[in-house]
Amino acid sequence: DHSMHNMTDMQSMMQNKMQPAEFFNLPKNQPLQALPLVKNLSQESGEFKAELNPMLTEVALTEQVKPTFWLYNGMMLPVIDVNLGDKIDITVNNQLTEPTTIHWHGLSVPPSQDGNPHDPILSQQTGRYQFDITSDMSGSHWFHPHTHLLTGKQVAQGLAGLFIVRDPNDPLQHLPEQNLFFSDLKLDETGQIAPNDMLDLMNGREGQFALINGQWQPEVTLSGTERWRLWNGNSARYLNFDFPEDSVEVFLVATDGGLIEKPIKLSSLLLTPGERAEIVISSKDLKPFNLISKAYDRDKMGPVAKEEDIILASVRVVDGKKIDLPSNLAKLTALGEPVVTRQLIYTEEMMPMRFLINGKSHDMNRIDFTAKKGDVELWEVTNNSHMDHNFHLHGPQFQVVEFERNGVITKPDYLLYKDTINIRPGETLRILTQQNHLGIRMYHCHVLEHEDAGMMGQLEVL
């Protein structure tokens, strides 16, 4: 009958026609490569000057598979590595055929320098970002385009980079470090980067490959005790790390907001798109193990395959120095009592698919809230959608107060500063925020397809 037919058409239209990962024969278990550094063009100390030019770059993953990525300076995931107090000056020559911006995710730079959708750098035009690395900015941050309606696409094409801010007083600075940047790759049958299908638009884009530093299931070498900086740079993939307790001991030492006060022992860690964490990891014996993301069911819509565990890397363990962690890492200050309370509610609508905040879709010409610079505000973000979404707010790191779900309140048992955090369906997140610059700040779900589909709002700081 008619409705049956429509169902079948609908299903086949949404059917994921992706070739399986094995089809492409990408190399696996290759040693993890360190990511390329962005060169500082300034001779002055305390100044970091560079160019970041987005351009089309063919990358040979195999003899046959040579997708054209969009990369800054032709480099896969370049790393900016600077110190507190540095002055940043970055010029962008947009060599793409569409507008772009660069957003400094995690850094509270003035809105005019934050790569907002309001300030596109048009094709073949030059833009410039200048800002100071202030004392509150140490940590593992990143940068990516934030172009109106095109953020997801430009990130999926490869545009992203790491932004590490070092503190000369970092008590962990003597540990050996590795950067692990997780990203997604979806190839079409010709080996080019695939466009989004219907499922990607609903659930967020997930490809065949969960990459680390652009490599598929690389081999990471762990020697003694190391500090690993972890970035979830995926458009939509939730990383649900499960560290094998009989092989390794793991401590959380930093979140989006940089170092936490004391190391916290863990065996699992949920890192949703946009989030970062730093862990200190020590091997217990010399047995190799796999770095796994456990199946995480975020209640995707449509005919999707059941979530499964994924292998992110194999870890080879070699003998090395075991280092004891200091018991205090940093001194954080809590934000004071809020003077304003705001309510945000996530919902979704079918046919057409829309993701909304307070019943509205993002509109560049609408200011959703105004705040006073310096005021401490309590934000309550409730997820009344049927799937998990996370919440990202531009500007200073926010303090996580608590989560509430079915009347049960969960508070972090330590001072926790974040810029991105997950919210389960039916859950309310409460945070304290304090804006420190005048201008427009975006907030949104960091599943990039949801952001582009309108799950974003604007706060104007006056």
Query: How far apart, in whole angstroms, are the C-alpha atoms of residue 77 and residue 55?
Result: 13
146 binds ligand C2O (CB under 6 A): yes
139 binds ligand C2O (CB under 6 A): no
Structure tokens at 312: 């992110």
**Among positions 146, 389, 392, 418, the unique one binding Cu ion when judged by CB under 5 A:** 389
Whole-angstrom CA distances from 19 to 16, 189, 202, 244, 456 are 9, 6, 20, 31, 32
**Locus of tokens 């979704």:** 348
Strand partners, 314: 219, 290
Burial class (CB in 10 A: 0-12, 13-18, 19+), 196: middle
Which partner from the list Cu ion, ligand C2O, none does 450 bind, CB cut-off 5 to 8 Å by kind? Cu ion
Which partner from the list Cu ion, ligand C2O, none does 105 bind, CB cut-off 5 to 8 Å by kind? ligand C2O
Which partner from the list Cu ion, ligand C2O, none does 447 bind, CB cut-off 5 to 8 Å by kind? Cu ion
Using the contact rule CB under 5 A, the part of the chain among 282-290, 307-315, 388-396, 433-441 near Cu ion is: 388-396
Spatial neighbors of 2 by CB under 8 A, at least 6 apart, are none
Which partner from the list ligand C2O, Cu ion, none does 437 bind, CB cut-off 5 to 8 Å by kind? none
Structure tokens at 388: 């998990």
109 binds ligand C2O (CB under 6 A): no
Local structure of 156: helix, strand or coil: helix
- Rg of the Cα trace of the chain? 21
Which residue, 67 or 457, is less far from ligand C2O as judged by CB?
A: 457
Local structure of 163: helix, strand or coil: strand
**Among positions 447, 456, 459, 461, the unique one binding Cu ion when judged by CB under 5 A:** 447
445 binds Cu ion (CB under 5 A): yes
Work out whether strand 225-232 and strand 177-185 pair parallel, antiparallel, or are unpaired: parallel
103 binds ligand C2O (CB under 6 A): yes
450 binds Cu ion (CB under 5 A): yes
Exposed e or buried b for every residue in 350-386, given b needs 16+ CB within 10 A?
eeebbbbbeeeebeeeeebbebeeeebbbbbbbbebe
What character string, x for contact with Cu ion (CB under 5 A) and - otherwise, covers 301-340? ----------------------------------------
Find the shortest distance in angstroms from Cβ 426 to Cu ion.
15
Q: Which residue is nearest to ligand C2O (CB)?
A: 105
Give 75's DSSP letter: B
Which partner from the list Cu ion, ligand C2O, none does 389 bind, CB cut-off 5 to 8 Å by kind? Cu ion
Structure tokens at 371: 């705040």
Which residue, 394 or 437, is less far from ligand C2O as judged by CB?
A: 394
Which partner from the list ligand C2O, Cu ion, none does 442 bind, CB cut-off 5 to 8 Å by kind? ligand C2O
Structure tokens at 461: 């700081």
**Among positions 394, 418, 441, 450, the unique one binding ligand C2O when judged by CB under 6 A:** 394
Measured between its terminal Cα atoms, the distance across the chain in Å is 59
Query: How far apart, in whole angstroms, are the C-alpha atoms of residue 163 and residue 145?
Result: 14
Contacts to ligand C2O from residues 268-297, by CB under 6 A: 274
What character string, x for contact with Cu ion (CB under 5 A) and - otherwise, covers 157-176? --------------------
Structure tokens at 184: 């997604």
153 binds ligand C2O (CB under 6 A): no
Which positions lie near ligand C2O, rule CB under 6 A?
A: 103, 105, 144, 146, 274, 392, 394, 442, 444, 446
Residues that bind Cu ion (CB under 5 A): 389, 445, 447, 450
